[in-house]
């Protein structure tokens, strides 16, 4: 093993710093994710970080956007099983993601809901991408069995279902009330067809 320090391109270095920021973001709020913290953890100077990101705002935006990309990636349907099984798999990974990134996730929601426009845009984009999969992807191919026809009413209800899922999962992670992960997943998976049921032709 060589101990020679590898000189990295600025782009690669910036990427690494964003990933480090995302890891730190898992267990702390945006307010607690300072340039100073990142500098300490990365072992580099604050000045260099300002060089890479311009400022705290840009740093936060880059970290939150990357965290949203991770969430999108880990919740991708795996192509195995029925649409409902694929949805259940995505939901299981969503639950685990929220559990592992609780502090940052809550602070993103709080910022987005509280009127921080930059965070709100990332949050809305992320939710739109996550729910779009239900209409255009492996789940959608047989989605009629879930009641997932692409109509304005179904889209509105899916938006509500996303709010439902977020609320239930955040609350469960905060306090599981003795409900097991398996019990949670059963009810979450069944909730979308349950919400859409009244729209289905008899």
Return residues touching a copy of itself (CB under 8 A). Answer: 109-111, 113-115, 152-153, 155-157, 159-168, 171-172, 177-179, 183, 186-187, 190-191, 193-199
- The residue among 144 and 199 lying less far from a copy of itself, judged by its C-beta, is 199
Q: How far apart are CA 61 and CA 45, in angstroms?
A: 20
DSSP 114: T
Q: Smallest distance from the beta carbon of 145 to a copy of itself, in angstroms?
A: 15
Q: Smallest distance from the beta carbon of 68 to a copy of itself, in angstroms?
A: 18
- The residue among 66 and 116 lying less far from a copy of itself, judged by its C-beta, is 116
Q: Smallest distance from the beta carbon of 26 to a copy of itself, in angstroms?
A: 20
How wide is the angle at C-alpha 181 spanned by C-alphas 180 and 183, nearest 5°?
65
- The residue among 49 and 87 lying less far from a copy of itself, judged by its C-beta, is 87
- Contact status, residue 168 vs residue 98, Cβ threshold 8 Å: no
Q: Smallest distance from the beta carbon of 108 to a copy of itself, in angstroms?
A: 11
Burial of 71 (0-12, 13-18, 19+ CB in 10 A): buried
Please, which residues have CB within 8 angstroms of residue 12's CB and are 6 or more apart in sequence? none
- The residue among 98 and 157 lying less far from a copy of itself, judged by its C-beta, is 157
Phi-psi region of 136 (alpha: psi -120 to 50; beta: other; left: phi over 0): beta
- The residue among 16 and 187 lying less far from a copy of itself, judged by its C-beta, is 187
Q: Smallest distance from the beta carbon of 194 to a copy of itself, in angstroms?
A: 3
C-alpha torsion 112→114→31→99, nearest 10? -50
């Amino acid at each position: 093993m060589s101990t020679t320090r590898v000189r990295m391109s600025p782009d690669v270095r910036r990427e690494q710093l964003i990933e480090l920021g995302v890891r730190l973001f898992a267990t702390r709020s945006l307010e607690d994710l300072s340039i100073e913290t990142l500098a300490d953890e990365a072992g580099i100077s604050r000045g260099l970080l300002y060089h890479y990101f311009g400022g705290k705002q840009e740093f936060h935006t880059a970290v939150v956007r990357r965290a949203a990309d991770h969430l999108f990636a880990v919740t991708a349907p795996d192509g195995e099983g029925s649409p409902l099984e694929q949805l259940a798999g995505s939901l299981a990974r969503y639950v685990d993601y929220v559990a592992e990134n609780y502090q940052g996730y809550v602070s993103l929601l709080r910022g987005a809901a509280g009127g921080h426009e930059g965070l709100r845009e990332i949050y809305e984009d992320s939710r739109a991408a996550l729910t779009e999969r239900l209409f255009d992807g492996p789940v959608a191919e047989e989605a009629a069995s879930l009641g997932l026809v692409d109509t304005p009413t179904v889209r509105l209800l899916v938006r509500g279902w996303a709010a439902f899922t977020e609320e239930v999962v955040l609350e469960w992670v905060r306090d599981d009330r003795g409900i097991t992960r398996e019990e949670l997943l059963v009810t979450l998976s069944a909730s979308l067809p349950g919400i859409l049921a009244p729209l289905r032709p008899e």
